[in-house]
A and B are shown apart, each in its own frame.
Chain A
Amino acid sequence: MNTAVDGLCVEKVHVWRGDRHVLKGVSLDLHPGELMHVSGPNGTGKTTLLRVVSGLLRPEQGSVSWRGQSIVTVREDFQVALAYASHEPALKSDLTALENLRFTVGLRRRVTVQELRAGLERTGVGACADLPARVLSAGQRRRVAMARVLAFQAPFWLLDEPYTNLDAAGADLLSRLLEEHVRGGGLALVVAHQDLDLATPTRQLRLQG
C-alpha cells in the first residue's frame, strides 16, 4: 500500500544497531509542498531515520518508497531527486568551495561555474568561492553546503541539523529558502533541535526513545 504516490512514503521502518532497537516502526508520508520537522531527544534515531530515507542505510524491516516505488528499485532516479545534507558539511578541505560544489553537483547534472558562483553568492559565501574549504569557518562551510543543496535542484530535501553553526542571518536565510522550496512544490524532511520559524505549514514528527 502506497498512500503517497506522488511523494515519499515510509512504512513501519525498524532498525537495530547491535542490540539497540533504534527505530521502532516509524511510518510517515510526505507530499509535494510539505515540510516535515523531525525532532526528539538525542539518540532517538533522527539521523538514522534520515539515513534510511536517503537509502544509505537499509532498514531491517519496513520500506521506503518514492513516487509509489521502492527506493531500492528506482535508486538512481530517487538519488537524483534527493538533496541530502548530513550533519557535517561534507566538504573536502583541500578543495575550494567552488570545486567542492563542482565535483558533487557536476555528478548530478550539467552545471556551469557561473551558476555555482551565483548559488554561493545567494547563500552569502560568494567571496569565499575560491578559498579552500579548510580556511572557512564552520558557519561558512554550512552555507556552502546550503548552496550545494540549492544547486542540486532536487525536489526532495533531506536536511540533518541544517541550522547548526549558522548565525541569525544564516538561519533566517535557510528558513526563507525552505519556505520557497516548499511553496514551489518541493518536499523537505528536516531534522532540527529548535523550533522552525517558517511561514509555511510545518508537519511535526517527534521521535521518542
Chain B
Amino acid sequence: MRVGAWQALLLVMHRELRLSFRRPDQLLQPLVFFLIVTTLFPLGLSVQLTLLREMAPGVLWVAALLSSLLSLDALFKSDADDGTLEQLALSGHGLTVIVVAKTLSHWLVSGAALVLVSPLVGTALAIPTGAFGVMMASLAIGTLTLSWLGAIGAGLTVGLKRGNVLLSLIVLPLAMPLLIFGAGATDRAIGGTSAAGALYLLGALCILTCTLAPFAATAALKITLE
C-alpha cells in the first residue's frame, strides 16, 4: 500500500527531529550562540537602560538571524554527504515533500527554540514584558521565513565543500526586509505603539516564501544532485 504525501511529510519530519535530538550539541549550539551574543551587548555597552532598550530590537534580530544561519548549512548537506538524500529523492514522493519536511523541522529546532528562549534574552536587554508578545510573534514569523530562504541557499550550496560563507552571502541580503520589519515591530511594541503594520508585512513575506521557496529550493537541490 502506497504512502500518502502527508504521511511521508510527517515521517521525514520525525526522522529529522530524531536526528537532531541524537546530536544535542548541534541542537544547542545555535541557541547558546544566540544567548551569548545577546548577553555580550549589555556587558559591552554602558549600563543605561534607555540606550539598551533602543538597541535591543536590532541586537535581538541580528543575533537571531546569525544563529539561524549557523545550522542552515547542514540542512541538506549531511544527507547529501552520506547518500541518504538520494534515497529520499527516490522515495516515490516529489522532492518538494522532502524539502518542506526538512525545512519545517529545521525551523522547529532552530527558530521555534529561539522564540522560546527569547523572553530570557528580552529581559537581559531590558525589553519591557508588555512587548514580549510582539517580540515572540515577530521572531516566530521571521525565523520561519528565514528557514525558507535558507532552504534555497542550502539547496544551491549543498555540493560545495565550504559552502557556509556563500550560504550567508546568498541568504543575508534576502533577509534584510525581515530584519527591518522584525526589529521595527519589536521597536514599536517597546515604544507602546501598534506593531500591527510591521507584523502584517512580516506575515506577507512569510506567506510569500512559504509558497514559493519550496519549489525554488527543490529546483536548486535538483541541480546540485545531478
Q: Say whether A associates with B.
A: yes
The interface of chain A, by Cβ under 8 A from chain B, is 54-58, 76-77, 79-80, 82, 84, 86, 88-95, 99, 103-104, 106-110, 132
Interface residues of B (CB under 8 A from A): 1-3, 8, 11-12, 14-15, 18-19, 22-23, 79, 82-84, 86-94, 225-226
The reply to whether A95 and B22 contact each other, CB–CB distance below 8 Å, is yes
- How many Å lie between the Cα of A92 and that of B83 in the bound state? 9
Say whether, besides A79-B90, A92-B82, A107 and B3 are in contact (CB < 8 Å). Answer: yes
User: Which B residues are in CB contact (< 8 Å) with A99?
Assistant: 15, 18
B92 partner residues in chain A, CB cutoff 8 A: 76-77, 79-80, 107-108
In the assembled complex, the CB of B6 is this many whole angstroms from the nearest CB of chain A, namely: 12
- Quote the shortest CB–CB distance from B17 to chain A (angstroms): 11
- When distances are taken between beta carbons in the complex, the residues of chain B under 8 Å from A90 are 82-84, 86-87
Task: Tell whether, in the assembled complex, residue B82 and residue A103 are in contact, meaning their CB atoms are under 8 Å apart.
Answer: no
In the bound assembly, the distance between CA atoms of A79 and B94 in angstroms comes to 10
Contact for A91 among B1, B8, B84, B88, CB less than 8 A: B84
Quick one: closest A residue to B19, CB to CB? A94
CB of B21 to closest CB in A, whole Å: 9
A85 to B1, CA, bound (A): 22
Alpha-carbon distance A156/B107, docked complex (angstroms): 37
Q: How far is the CB of A111 from chain B (nearest CB, A)?
A: 9
Chain B residue at minimum C-beta to C-beta distance from A99: B18
- Given the interface contacts A82-B90, A106-B11, A107-B93, does A57 sit within 8 Å of B82 by beta carbon? no
A94–B17 CA distance with the chains assembled, in angstroms? 12
Q: Which residue of B lies closest to A134 (CB)?
A: B22
For B26, give the chain A residue with the smallest CB separation: A94
CB within 8 A of B82: which of A54, A56, A88? A88
Q: How many whole Å from A67's CB to the nearest CB in chain B?
A: 15
Q: Is the CB of B83 within 8 A of A107?
A: no
A residues less than 8 Å from B18 (CB atoms): 95, 99
In the complex, the answer to whether A94 meets B84 with C-beta atoms within 8 Å is no
A84 CA to B3 CA, complexed, in Å? 18
CB pair B89–A56 under 8 Å, yes or no, is yes
